[in-house]
Amino acid sequence: MADTPDKTPKAAKGNKTSPAEFVRQVQTEGRKVVWPTREETIRISIFVFIMMTILSLFFLGVDSLFGAVVRWLMTLA
């Protein structure tokens, strides 16, 4: 595996892209992007908020449990 040559294309040292060409390429790639609809954005935002709430409550419970265990262990000392 280590003997296989790297197949990623590499730019030549003297072949630099001009700033104008870079901007043109960025605009071209930007046109290819499929942007989400307003409904998709709202639905995903609600999903993220729900998951954030569930996970924060989960970690609150785990932290409280560990805190209680540590307090109990401290009473044994």
Residue 14 placed within a domain: no
The number of distinct structural domains making up the chain is 1
67-77: pLDDT as tens digits: 999 999 999 97
Which of 31, 52, 49 has its CA nearest to residue 41? 49
Residue 49 placed within a domain: yes
Residue 1 placed within a domain: no
Assigned token pair, 25: 């390429």
Residue 46 placed within a domain: yes
Name all contacts of 66-69 with Cβ < 8 Å and 24+ positions apart. none
For 64, the domain range is 37-77
Residue 3 placed within a domain: no
3-46: pLDDT as tens digits: 666 565 555 566 888 999 999 999 999 999 999 999 999 999 99
CB 36 within 8 A of CB 44: yes
Q: How much is the pTM?
A: 0.58
